[in-house]
Chains A and B, each alone.
Chain A
Amino acid sequence: MSAFLREYLTVAIFTGVAFGLLAGVLSVGKLIRPVRPQAEKYFNYESGVDAVGTGWVQSPIRYYVFALLFVMFDVEAVFIFPWATQLEIYGWFGAVEMGIFIVLLALGLLYAWRKGVLRWT
């Protein structure tokens, strides 16, 4: 196995050990903790009164546009990182190239800002 894959194997093994340890920690209490089921204990908490409706209510979440903007900039980051490691080799050519790229994306953010998307109303 190549050293590259072997390091990912290490990550996989570590994940296994971590999950195993967590399962151990969670089950160790079984030996000493009390089990006295009462229906009231298993109600959902809603400030002391009986819960109204189900917990999975529909409510407007305002993160939709933010999520779209996020995707735009996160993809940008994927392009920037490899370029950043090679900047020494590219020199001014790379600098100007990436400058244009970043300014273009910043214009997108500016557009969203001017459109009032970033306002919370």
Chain B
Amino acid sequence: MILGLHLAYWQTSVIRSLGVLVAVLLPAGTFVYIFLFKMVSFMQSRLGPMEAGPYGSMQLLAEVGKFIQKEDIVPDNADRRLFKLAPYLVVATVLLVYLVVPFGPKMRFVNFDGGIFYALAVSSISALGVLIAGWASANKYSLMGGLRAAGQLIAYELPMVLAVVGVVIQAGTMNLSGIVAAQANGKMFGFGGLGNPYFITQFVGMVIFLIAVQAELTQTPFDMPIAESELVTGYITEYSGMRFLLFFIAEFAAVGSFAAVAATLFMGGWAVPGIKFDSGVMNVLGPIVLMAKMTLIAGVIFFVRFTYPRFREDQLQKFAWTILIPVALANILVTTVLKVAF
């Protein structure tokens, strides 16, 4: 029941879906403005956009307005249907990740028992969209970029999944709300004042997870799929206008979704130490707290992106298979022993 109206299940679902879409696009737009337009500008001793709105804050709207007016171009040689499908896949899967992230004790969309499994599974579908985009463009640069993206996903999906295992061992559940609860009510070696945020007790896991996220998002130093000095712009070479904008939005929405998952797994999600974990206040305060934590993690992701040069393609694979995966496996073993011993 909403506002005294009786609605069928699908009707409330549609309304809530639209709510989630707003909740996704808002942080994505904020990230573009704060990090892409302003932070990088200050890091490079320039002002960034200043004309559209106060301090250029309306720049993003101006950009969208520009892209809407662009001519719709599909290359003659391209596989038309796949070419048009790819942006849908990439954006929709990013949006689907948000469904499992809890924003408060009751502020959640679905409550899967295997929530983290769902998030990891859905988030990797977008690489399929990237592969489709690269293949359907019928362009050598695009194909190369798409294949690189697929290879990168294969290499970095594993450290990510294995890093999450440490959290699941500690929390004893795969449900994301359960993981938040385990962190809020946990104790660090007998001290329970701060709960047990896993960025302290699962520090190795968090570092591996964030590195893998960086690669999964194809942000520099892992941006070989769109490496502009080698591949023009990789899989989006042939895309223009609104379809290009969708890929762009997906990139930043994906940063938001992975930051939300990371904040839930490692930084206590929507909970704050000191305020009772499941009080009604948290339904209002929770989303704000989670957004703050998301922004913090996204800040780290973008800081790295704007600081480091690109890896070479072989270094990327080697780094994943010979460093990240062995360390992640060792992390699982150590966590297991510590969990059983204490």
Contacts and interface: CB of A to CB of B under 8 A. Distances in A.
Interface of A: 6-7, 9-11, 13-15, 17-19, 21-23, 25-26, 28-30, 32-36, 41-47, 51, 54-57, 59, 61-63, 66-67, 69-70, 73-74, 77, 80-81, 84-88, 91-92, 94-95, 98-99, 102, 105-106, 109, 113, 118-120
A79 to B, nearest CB: 11
A52 to B, nearest CB: 9
Main secondary structure of the interface of B (DSSP, over half): helix
B321 A118 contact: yes
B185 to A, nearest CB: 15
Contact of B322 (A35, A41, A85, A118): A118
Closest 9 CB pairs of A and B: A120-B314, A55-B138, A17-B17, A63-B151, A84-B168, A13-B13, A7-B110, A42-B76, A29-B68
Interface stretch (B88-96, B191-199, B266-274): B88-96
Given A6-B9, A35-B71, A102-B332, 15 more contacts: A7-B112, A14-B17, A14-B20, A22-B88, A33-B72, A33-B241, A42-B76, A44-B238, A46-B140, A57-B140, A66-B155, A74-B161, A87-B172, A118-B322, A120-B313
Contacts of B16: 10
B330 to A, nearest CB: 9
A17 B322 contact: no
Contact of B150 (A23, A25, A63, A91): A63
Contact of B165 (A57, A59, A67, A80): A80
Nearest to A82: B174
Given A17-B17, A44-B238, A77-B165, A55 B155 contact: no
Contacts of A109: 321, 325-326
B48 to A, nearest CB: 26
A95 B322 contact: no
Nearest to B98: A14
Contacts of A62: 151
B160 to A, nearest CB: 10
Interface stretch (B201-209, B299-307, B333-341): B333-341
Contacts of B313: 120
A11 B96 contact: yes
Nearest to B92: A18
B99 interface: yes
B289 interface: no
26 contacts: A6-B9, A13-B17, A25-B242, A26-B243, A29-B67, A29-B70, A32-B68, A33-B69, A45-B141, A55-B137, A56-B135, A56-B143, A63-B147, A63-B150, A70-B155, A80-B162, A80-B165, A81-B165, A84-B165, A86-B172, A87-B172, A87-B336, A95-B340, A98-B336, A102-B332, A109-B321
